Structure 1
């Protein structure tokens, strides 16, 4: 299996009322997509139906969001399905329910997955799509904007 990217950052956030708390998540032991959910729940110490949101960014290449709620199937969004062949790109593309693109990158970024996963939290599908396709925006900057809208920007900054 291809190796992972050299500069991957992953942090998971859980919400208790209006307050979010976060932890950095080490995804190095994740071998399949299901491992991601287990690592997030373990890192946050979740035991029930709590909402968790995993934010992943890889250098200047792509970002992913994974929403986890109890035993429900995780919902995921990835900013670009044309991310190459590293194992994390493949895992998050699978979580987003998309097939990695074999086409050239000439088409620009190609977001995929559940565009509605943040609707009830205050970021519409249109906004998520627009943010992910904003020309010149780095994945980390886009995640910062999303974190600001969802009120966990300070937690994200603390973990970076």
Structure 2
């Protein structure tokens, strides 16, 4: 099993990249605490496991709840890690607001959560759905594309692939 968690953090307009140890995060609250240690302004974490899915968690500042997106809700039933980190924070399947045109892109995947969580950093809902459904793109590729759209191209390369 291959799992990886990385994050980009923005502090006073500067982005940095970080590895996150998932062993130190028992649940979403634990992950959120680790993310808040990275930056007090904005942190976006990317969680991937066996190239099966991409989980995205966004934390804005020291207060407020994290915003969560999961590329395919079905992994909550097959991945203990996804269940541990995301199940409590996600609405039931089918409750994500996806328009009819985007629905055609999904081809069986059932994304869940806040599809607008990256809109202000360059990846709106439509672009996010296109990225997660583009044939041949792995979760790490999607995370790199999101980072590039946020204005921190190649920053995740600093912490390894």
Measured against the shorter chain, the TM-score band is 0.7 to 0.9
1:34-113 matches, cutoff 5 A: 34-42=29-37, 44=38, 46=39, 48=40, 50-69=41-60, 70-83=62-75, 84-94=77-87, 96-99=89-92, 108-113=108-113
Distance in 2 (alpha carbons) for counterparts of 1:81 and 1:130: 17
Unmatched segments (≥5 aa) in structure 1: 1-5, 102-106
Give the alignment's Cα RMSD to 1 decimal: 2.1
2:4 alignment counterpart? 9
Q: Retained in 2: the 8 A contact 1:81–1:93?
A: no
| Residues 51-94 of structure 1, C-alpha deviations (whole Å, 9 max, x = no match) | 11111122220111111012110001111111143322113432
Q: TM-score, normalised to structure 1's length?
A: 0.81
Unmatched segments (≥5 aa) in structure 2: 95-106
Deviation at 1:32, TM superposition (A): 2.0
Distance in 1 (alpha carbons) for counterparts of 2:44 and 2:78: 24
Rate the CA distance shift 1:148–1:23 in 2: closer, same or farther, 3 A. same
Q: How many residues align?
A: 146
Which has more helix, going by share of residues?
A: 2
